[in-house]
Amino acid sequence: MTYNYATHHRHSCIGARAGFGDLLIGAGALMCEANGFDPGEESHLRDHMVELIKITEGFYACGVAASVYATQDVAAQSFVPDPVFANIGKPLLATQIYDMHKIAHYVSGGLIVALPGPDEDHKPLTAATLQDVLRANPDVPYARRIETARFIEDLTAFYQGGWYSVISLHGGGSPEAMKREIYRHYPVGSKVQLVERLLARGLTDDPDRAITRNTQPGKCCSQGCTVPGAPVMIDLPEVPSRRDDAA
C-alpha cells in the first residue's frame, strides 16, 4: 500500500505542476507582450520561454508515459502508473520548480514586485499618472499589464509561490525516496545483459547477481517469451552460395 500510494501521489503531482507550468508560460508571454516585447524577435526572451516550455513538457511527458505503461494490480484490479516514469517525473518538477519561478521573473521584469499599492492605484490624484507612466505597449491597457503582473507575483513571489516550491520539492516524498524507487524498479539487469551480449562475454545468468536482478518483462531469456501456440521463428538452414559452387 505504501509503494502504490506514493506512486499514485507522485503521478498526480506531475499533472498538477504541469498545469502550474502552463499558467507561467501563458502569463510570461502576456507580460512580454505588455512590456512591448515579442519573444519571437528577442532571442533572450525566446530562449527563456523555450526553457520554461521544455521543463514543463519534459516532466509532463513522464506523467503521460506513466499512464500509458500503467499495469493492473492483481488484487485491487485497479491500474497503477508505471513506477519508473512516475518517480522520474516527480523529481524533475521538484528540483526545477525554482527554475520555473526564476524564468517567469526574468521574462516578466521587476514590475511584478514593484507594483503600486491600492492606496496609490485607486487614488484619483495618482491613478491617471500611474496609467501613463506604467504603460509600456500602447496596444495593451494599463489595467491588463498590472493584472498580469499581480498574477505572476501571486504565483511566484508571494505566499503561494513559497508554498508551491516546498510542496513541489517534498510533497509525495523527498527526492531521495524517488531515487530509491527508480533504482528498485528500473530494469538495470536488461541493460547489463544487452551490453554483455554485444561484448560477446557469454557470462552465465546468475539470479543472485545484484546488477542483473531486475529485467524487463519478456526479456528473461535470450530468445524472449512467446504466447503458447504462437508460431516461433527458427533459424533457416544454411544454403550454399553461388560463390561456393564456383569454387
**Pair 109, 145 in one domain:** yes
Judge whether residue 68 has pLDDT over 80. Answer: yes
Instruction: Count how many domains the chain has.
Output: 2
**Pair 95, 8 in one domain:** yes
**Pair 92, 195 in one domain:** no
**Pair 201, 178 in one domain:** no
Looking up cell 496609490, which residue turns up?
120
> Read out DSSP for 100-133?
HHHHHHHHH-GGGGSPPPHHHHT-HHHHHHHHHH
232 is a domain residue: no
234 is a domain residue: no
Q: Which residues contact 61 (CB under 8 A, 6 or more apart)?
A: 89
Residue count (the chain): 247
Q: Which residue has the higher pLDDT, 117 or 39?
A: 39
**Pair 65, 156 in one domain:** yes
Looking up cell 551490453, which residue turns up?
195
Please say whether the beta carbons of 155 and 100 come within 8 A.
no
CA dihedral 217, 64, 168, 73 (to 10 degrees): -40
H or E, element range at 92: helix 83-108
Judge whether residue 2 has pLDDT over 80. Answer: no
Please tell me the number of Cα atoms within 13 Å of 179 on its side-chain side: 5
Strand, helix or coil at 192? helix
**Pair 95, 107 in one domain:** yes
231 is a domain residue: no
Return the pLDDT at 193: 85
**Pair 152, 195 in one domain:** no
How large a percentage of the chain has pLDDT more than 70?
Answer: 79
**pLDDT tens string 111-161:** 999 888 777 766 767 777 777 778 889 999 988 999 999 999 999 998 888
138 is a domain residue: yes
Q: Write the CATH number for 163.
A: 1.20.140.10
Domain of 196, in residue numbers: 187-220
**What confidence category does residue 76 fall into, taking pLDDT thresholds of 50, 70 and 90?**
confident
- From residue 97, how far is each of 27, 38, 71, 188 by CA, in Å? 16, 25, 29, 29
**Pair 46, 118 in one domain:** yes
Tell me the average pLDDT of the chain: 84
43 is a domain residue: yes
**Pair 191, 181 in one domain:** no
Please say whether the beta carbons of 7 and 83 come within 8 A.
yes
**pTM greater than 0.85:** no
**Pair 209, 91 in one domain:** no
241 is a domain residue: no
Judge whether residue 207 has pLDDT over 90. Answer: no
